[in-house]
A and B are shown apart, each in its own frame.
Chain A
Amino acid sequence: MTVLASLSVPRVPVGEVFAGIVDWLTTNVGSVFDAFGGLVGATVSALATFLATPIIIVLALVFGLLGFFLRGWKIAVAATVIAGGLGYLAAIAGVPPAVVLALTFGVIGFALRGWKFGLFAVVAFGLIDSMGQWKPAMESLALVLVASAITVVLAVPIGIAAGRSDAVSRAVKPVLDFMQTMPAFVYLIPAISLFSVGVVPGVVATVVFSMAPGVRLTELGIRQVDREVVEAGEAFGAPPMKILGRIQIPLALPTIMAGVNQIIMLALSMVVIAGMVGAGGLGSSVYTAISTVDVAGGFEAGLAVVVLAVYLDRLTASLTNRSAVVRAAAASDR
């Protein structure tokens, strides 16, 4: 017994090895991380600045794109001109940028979902401004959008590869499990040592955290595509890329979009955590409120997060409903 009791598992320096890897990365390929960090940081801050004080021409172009997406180029031109004109008038009249943007969000909501959602958007974003949370909210929105964009760019191709190959799927699965279950705070530590304090570690931690559902749902979507339809593509001699582009992705799109939706939602949930490493935005507001036990301030910042979440969620859902497959399925009910 005494011999057994004295036995113990020898210490394996797991943590030290990981720290060593991070150190090695910092010293040897630090410039790569610096460049990446600089790019991401600049993008987020540019987007945040734009969302706080919009440039009329860019705003007009956003409406133009929306019009093109919904109704083609004629409406696109009309939307660009009208939005530009109205924006110019608003600027002359001295309408605050927050109001202009709240109305913008309202119009986007109206165009994609209908007047109720448009009205909700105007009221909800107006509320954010009246709570004095506009600037941090827009900083957080910028962070979420950039992080989500990076995640989608990474997750969707990986998901497609995993959906088409069992080997890739088997290799990716444990990595995703690891990324999803490792507490999100833990990502912040190496992210800080690689990118220093600021927005970038926040973005990086968000990307890692929200990657898994994006990959998983994309893979699921590709695998769910009717085997016979893919076979039809092969039987008529379509090359693999055409089968992917014209059969698999269009048919998997609703599920892929559900993945994008999840990415955005998870990114939003990381906003507060990112605030701890100096990413600014609503996270900082919440963090400050915690340290000063400011119930009112904390609630207001939290409510702003909820508004952003609801708005983005409904918006991505309506984009999903506009995909050709969903519309085709709806057509049969008519």
Chain B
Amino acid sequence: MPAVRAEKLYKVFGRRSDDAVDLLAQGKDTKEVRRLGVTPAVIDASFDVEEGEIFVVMGLSGSGKSTLIRMLNGLLEPTSGQVYIGDTELSGLPAKKLRALRQQRISMVFQHFALLPHRTVLENAAYGLEVRQVPKAERVEQARESLALVGLAGWENHLPTQLSGGMRQRVGLARALAAGTDVLLMDEAFSALDPLIRREMQDQLLELQASLGKTIVFITHDLNEAMRLGDRIAMMRDGRIVQIGTSEEILQDPANDYVAQFVQDVDRTRVLTASAVMEKPIAMVGARSGPRQALRTMRENQVGAAFVVDRDRRLVGAVRDSVVADAVRRGQESLTGLMDPADVVKIDPDTVVADLFAPSAECPVPLAVVNPDDRLVGVIPRVTLLAALGNGPVDLTHGGGPEGGAQGDGPSTDGGPPDDGVPDPDLPDSDTKDATEVAS
């Protein structure tokens, strides 16, 4: 069950809001509906937020994202549609139950921190618990804990006015964490901070999230922030959600021109991960096959190096054509001793592209993308890396690189006529499918 669920949410401000919703639901244009003297803020928003996910709602000012988030905890009543927190439906909930729900299930972090200026940091952090009437000793303890969690231990007795912006927002975060709710709403939480501090807070949030696993709905107008934080992103424009997807999906496959225009300036190398740009490994040889076979595989694919994998497709090493050709000439029977450990750079599929340039420059062989269990799922030659820099979506539909045969960057021998293309006996077909799935 999703932790937060929005179903056909509408929020229209103005007297004739119900008529406006009807018209909008019939597919009438927003401009036309405005003639009724109403302001549609959120139009037909539906989404699920899974437990433990950071769901970012991204949009420029006036796109309705703040209205949307306020409907999720009932600060605003939707004009039409439903909100579910777990299995509880929000609309029609009596005020008392709604308050209890906010106390126990959802807390919120605000753009301008919204701290009580006349109370100490500790009292502010304990606010949610105070409202819930938790005994004093207990709430002080919990507030202290969450302050320590955000790195504010020792500041308990200061007043918010004595703190910097970043520290104040940490108090806001500690207040939300101390409340102990599963769901956290963050309304432009870092937008009022300096860029450097904002970056720091983003890192801290990700770090905290890794251990706490809260369900977070994060509102922002900063696309880079959205891409950094969001497991999934909902792009909003003029009250409508125009696309929901992972940052990579939005970058690679924008739903419309608006999104495409929006993402064109994003630093793709910080968003795209190795798994998005990698190619299907084609030049692979089994660990038990001999140099002759390895040479043939390389020639077949017109590459200068090949990865050596075992039966389960775990990466063993890489061999270069010159070394293998020598071994063939010497009549060596196995690949043992031919692999240079320096040739293999293992990359996690989630590594962002920006972090691939340095290793790629140093390694003559394509980078090997491996799963945590060491299975080879893809390779990244330099050419592919460069292609990923371009603004056009990286083509993932076929496994080959932009130009066939460019997989190897190592020194190449003359490519003789390809032998008959018998698949490597050590490689069952199913594995190749796996790789394709991971890559797409």
Interface residues of chain A, those whose CB is within 8 Å of chain B, are: 226, 228-229, 231-239, 242, 246-247, 250-251, 323-325, 327-329, 331-332, 334
A and B contact pairs by CB, cutoff 8 A, 9 listed? A228-B110, A229-B116, A233-B131, A236-B179, A237-B102, A325-B117, A325-B118, A331-B162, A332-B162
Q: How far is the CB of A112 from chain B (nearest CB, A)?
A: 19
> Which B residue sits closest to A333, measured CB to CB?
B161
User: 1/0 per position for B62-75, CB-CB distance to A under 8 A?
Assistant: 00000000000101
Does B112 belong to the interface (CB within 8 Å)? yes
Q: How many angstroms between the C-alpha atoms of A228 and B114 in the bound complex?
A: 6
Shortest Cβ distance from A29 into chain B, in angstroms?
Answer: 39
Q: Is the CB of B131 within 8 A of A324?
A: no
Q: Is the interface of B mostly helix, strand, loop or mixed?
A: mixed
> Please, which residues of chain A bring their CB within 8 A of the CB of B118?
250-251, 323-325, 327-328
B119 contact set on A, CB distance < 8 A: 324
Closest chain-B Cβ to A252's Cβ sits at a distance in Å of: 11
A212 CA / B99 CA spacing, docked (Å): 36
Q: Are B159 and A239 in contact (CB under 8 A)?
A: no
Q: How far is the CA of A330 from the CA of B286 in the complex (A)?
A: 74
**Residues of chain B with a CB closer than 8 A to A226's CB:** 112, 114
Cβ–Cβ < 8 Å partners of A233 in chain B:
131
Instruction: Tell me the complex Cα distance, A231–B175, Å.
Output: 14
B162 close to A237 (CB less than 8 A): no
Q: How far is the CA of A134 from the CA of B119 in the complex (A)?
A: 44
Instruction: Give the contacting residue for A247; candidates B99, B106, B116, B159; CB below 8 A.
Output: B116
Query: Secondary structure of the A side of the interface?
Result: helix
Chain B interface residue count, CB cutoff 8 Å, equals: 32
Give the distance to chain A from B120, nearest Cβ to Cβ, in Å: 9
Q: By the criterion CB–CB under 8 Å, are B161 and A331 in contact?
A: yes
Q: Is B103 in contact with A236, judged by CB distance below 8 angstroms?
A: yes
**CB-CB under 8 A for A239 and B162, given A231-B114, A251-B118, A325-B118:** no
B204 touches A (CB below 8 Å): no
Least Cβ–Cβ distance between A164 and chain B, in angstroms: 15
Q: Which of B111, B128, B162 contacts A228 (CB 8 A)?
A: B111
Q: What 0/1 pattern do residues 91 to 102 of B give for CB contact below 8 A with A? A: 000000011111
Also in contact, A238 and B99, with CB within 8 A (given A226-B114, A228-B111, A251-B117): yes
Which A residues are CB-close (under 8 A) to B106?
235
Q: How distant is B438 from chain A, measured CB to nearest CB, in Å? A: 41
Nearest CB on A from B36, distance (A): 22
A246 CA / B127 CA spacing, docked (Å): 11
Contact A238 B131 (CB under 8 A): yes
Whether the Cβ atoms of A242 and B159 lie closer than 8 Å is no
Q: B161, A237: Cβ atoms under 8 Å?
A: no
* Chain B CB within 10 A, most for which of A226, A232, A237, A323: A237
Distance between B240 CB and nearest chain A CB, rounded to angstroms = 25
User: Shortest Cβ distance from B112 into chain A, in angstroms?
Assistant: 5
Question: Do the beta carbons of A237 and B101 come within 8 Å of each other?
Answer: yes
The distance in angstroms between the C-alpha atoms of A324 and B124, with both chains bound, is 14
CB of A235 within 8 A of CB of B161, answer no
Residues A329 and B110 in contact in the complex (CB < 8 Å), given A235-B73, A238-B99, A250-B118 = no
A237 touching B111, Cβ below 8 Å: no
**Contact A229–B115 (Cβ < 8 Å):** yes
Chain A residue at minimal CB-CB distance from B106: A235
Contacts of B17 on A, CB cut-off 8 Å?
none
